[in-house]
A and B are shown apart, each in its own frame.
Chain A
Amino acid sequence: NAGVTQTPKFQVLKTGQSMTLQCAQDMNHNSMYWYRQDPGMGLRLIYYSASEGTTDKGEVPNGYNVSRLNKREFSLRLESAAPSQTSVYFCASSISEGNTEAFFGQGTRLTVV
Chain B
Amino acid sequence: GQSLEQPSEVTAVEGAIVQINCTYQTSGFYGLSWYQQHDGGAPTFLSYNGLDGLEETGRFSSFLSRSDSYGYLLLQELQMKDSASYFCAVRDPGSNYQLIWGAGTKLIIKP
Contact = CB atoms under 8 A, between A and B. Distances in A.
Contacts, number: 58
Contacts of A48: 96, 98
Contacts of A42: 4, 87, 89, 101-104
Nearest to A107: B42
Interface in A60-113: 90, 97-98, 100-107
A100 B96 contact: no
Contacts of A90: 42-43
Contact of B87 (A43, A59, A97, A103): A43
Interface residues of B, number: 23
B60 to A, nearest CB: 15
Given A100-B31, A100-B91, A45 B99 contact: yes
B99 to A, nearest CB: 7
A105 B103 CA distance: 19
Nearest to A43: B101
Given A41-B103, A104-B42, A58 B87 contact: no
Contact of B99 (A56, A102, A103): A102
Contacts of A101: 33, 45, 48
Contact of A103 (B4, B45, B91, B98): B45
20 contacts: A40-B8, A40-B103, A41-B104, A42-B89, A42-B104, A43-B89, A43-B99, A43-B101, A58-B98, A97-B97, A98-B97, A100-B31, A100-B48, A100-B89, A101-B33, A101-B45, A102-B99, A104-B43, A106-B42, A107-B42
Interface of B: 4, 8, 31, 33, 41-45, 48, 87, 89, 91, 95-104
Interface of A: 33, 40-45, 48, 50, 56, 58-59, 90, 97-98, 100-107
